[in-house]
Structure 1
């Protein structure tokens, strides 16, 4: 049936022509039994021919068919031509507003009443004709209402999809701004260190050249680290070409910057989570490389967000397990819990931004976040971050 509907939608003229031909062939035997003569058959064809345009001009087609049928049956007996009337009644009900039906139905009822009063039709025949007309009209109205309902649902789905995409873009933009601010603190701190080391090296070049060389090596290392962090910042902000809000960089002599959390702060984070009532087990493999504070911040924030979701949605008695596997190029991170989550049932997000934030952080280091229910119960967040180019 779906393939038939598809063909009809692609070729409406052909479908209407086929319907007209089918109804004419069905009515031809009854008409031939009454022997309409040579003049009757052209009129018979003329009654069915306008059905080809029933979708494009249903009212014009109806009045053409109805008036031709009334005039023809006043002089020629064409019983089979009555099959055209339900088709045009259906077309008016299907493709025109409801108020357009009233004159159409009035014309049908007047014709039936006149033929009954003149004795041309029996009462049973009139009742049958009314039943057929009512069926055609109700079928057309029902299908019109159904199609309008489906069109409204499709429009609503498109509107919700646009709103969802807009919300996702807004969430991603807000998260990129937040990450950019954090990166700004790191880069500003590195620049302040570079300035201080360069000043010290300049002062000791003549008196302690070896110490000055050591300081310049630290300047180079710190500069490479800052360059890597800036590269990731630009990668985050490239989409949309929108710059983060401008924040003035403090002078080296100004107040000290608050350090961002990193690898060394994960234990303290887990202690805070345990104090909140969530038992957490930490498994480490290997040691973190010298990837810079941005790498540690990304891992710290992903673990933090995953455990925050467990606290909110894991339910009473849930426990969590954090696995960190350090490799030469990066970190494989997995956070699981054993809360009462069933497979196939999505955990409701707290604010819609948590997963977006984790995904943005992972994407900045060439990874992606996989979050979903475990086969039996519980929830898992897993990602792999690569820091080889950040050092």
Structure 2
């Protein structure tokens, strides 16, 4: 089974090559401004180095998100300890945090969020202290104590950026996991649907095989019995042989017609010339002139579901085939159908040698039992009282 053929298409995403180009362009767009901005702001070479230490690792943020975040966070700590003025490299932290929340686990994302909030508090204190210390000596602000009013604008601004990066990355990770689960669920449903179709086809092939067995076994058994009779009769009464051969031809044509119908089912065709399914009215056609079979059938035939009628027909057909094969040349049989309000009783009893059990383990009995059980019916097969063989079935209607 080709799973790729039936798997549903997932949501649109960049291909591997486009993803690599996007990562390269994004990281380059954050690295290159470090040079002109450092020059325009009059920052030192160390400030430029700090910016590059924070932005360059973003080239690998997708494959190694946790390692890149750790490196960027360490570079940010180094900047806070050695350089008190914000630099362009600070933009790398939310980008690294987004990548951590997007491509790593939820636990790692929470750790990154905690680091970011702590970093926001430290950066707020460092930058506020640097601004106050930058006032000229002698002013009243020299001994100024930093309060919450001074820290709050910096802290909440930085914390908002950190929280937004974490939230966007986490949402993207959750959405992708949800999409992946939907795609997998769709694939499983498609596989289950195909498996059900395969099982249904196998069941239908089994049913048709039972039909074919019934048709071929019955037709050939009648042909063989009639042909043997014609061979012996030809020596004494050629006219009887001619009539018998006519019966053989008729049975052969009927069997061929049913085989064409079954082959039409296998081909999936809808040929209107094919014969319909056998019914209860067709049971007398199973008995030939040379058979010693008594029919006890209700007249008119009771109205039963098509499936029940077909099952009854095939059960009688298989039973008479076994009578011809096993009961002996002079065996007599009785076919009896009794219809009640809620069931159809079928009985085929012969007075032959009682050796029909020789074929009881074959496909014929198995097919009969399966047909009856499909309709929640019961089947009893075994020696009849006083000798012979009996087949009795009860099929709910």
- Scaled to the shorter chain, the TM-score interval is 0.5 to 0.7
Q: Does 1:112 align with 2:141?
A: no
Q: TM-score, normalised by structure 1?
A: 0.54
Larger Rg: 1 or 2?
A: 2
Partner of 2:275 in structure 1?
Answer: none
Q: Rate the CA distance shift 1:128–1:27 in 2: closer, same or farther, 3 A.
A: farther
Partner of 1:17 in structure 2?
Answer: 24
Match of 1:98 among 94, 106, 109: 106
Q: Rate the CA distance shift 1:67–1:171 in 2: closer, same or farther, 3 A.
A: same
Match of 1:33 among 36, 40, 59: 40
| 1:218-367 matched pairs, under 5 angstroms | 218-220=247-249, 222-223=251-252, 226=255, 229=258
Match of 1:140 among 149, 157, 169: 169
Distance 2:37 2:77 in 1: 17
Partner of 1:61 in structure 2?
Answer: 68
1:180/1:233 contact within 8 Å kept:
no
Distance 1:95 1:257 in 2: 80
Q: CA deviation at 1:272?
A: 7.5
Partner of 1:367 in structure 2?
Answer: none
2:98/2:166 contact within 8 Å kept:
yes
Q: Rate the CA distance shift 1:228–1:46 in 2: closer, same or farther, 3 A.
A: farther
Partner of 1:322 in structure 2?
Answer: none
Corresponding residue SS for 2:235 = coil
Q: Give deviations 1:268-296, integer Å, cap 9, x for gaps.
A: 99x879xxxxxxxxxxxxxxxxxxx99xx
Superposed CA RMSD in Å reads: 3.9
Q: TM-score, normalised by structure 2?
A: 0.53
Partner of 1:178 in structure 2?
Answer: 207
Q: Rate the CA distance shift 1:54–1:256 in 2: closer, same or farther, 3 A.
A: farther
Q: CA deviation at 1:91?
A: 1.0
* Number of equivalenced pairs: 252
Q: Give deviations 1:62-90, integer Å, cap 9, x for gaps.
A: 01112123314544556211111111111
Partner of 2:371 in structure 1?
Answer: none
2:102/2:170 contact within 8 Å kept:
yes
Distance 2:295 2:208 in 1: 16
Match of 2:237 among 208, 229, 236: 208
Partner of 1:358 in structure 2?
Answer: none
2:72/2:92 contact within 8 Å kept:
yes
Partner of 1:85 in structure 2?
Answer: 93
Distance 1:127 1:226 in 2: 90
Corresponding residue SS for 1:148 = helix
2:72/2:93 contact within 8 Å kept:
yes
Moved more, 132-141 or 5-14: 5-14
Q: CA deviation at 1:7?
A: 3.4
Q: Give deviations 1:204-260, integer Å, cap 9, x for gaps.
A: 21233354245335435544654565577689789xxxxxxxxxxxxx97978999x
Q: Does 1:157 align with 2:165?
A: no
Partner of 1:130 in structure 2?
Answer: 159
Distance 1:44 1:94 in 2: 23
Distance 1:84 1:33 in 2: 20
Q: Rate the CA distance shift 1:127–1:216 in 2: closer, same or farther, 3 A.
A: same
Q: CA deviation at 1:142?
A: 0.9
Q: Rate the CA distance shift 1:257–1:189 in 2: closer, same or farther, 3 A.
A: farther
* 5+ long unaligned stretches in structure 2: 1-10, 132-150, 268-289, 306-312, 315-397
* 5+ long unaligned stretches in structure 1: 239-251, 260-267, 274-292, 295-391
Q: CA deviation at 1:92?
A: 1.1
Partner of 2:357 in structure 1?
Answer: none
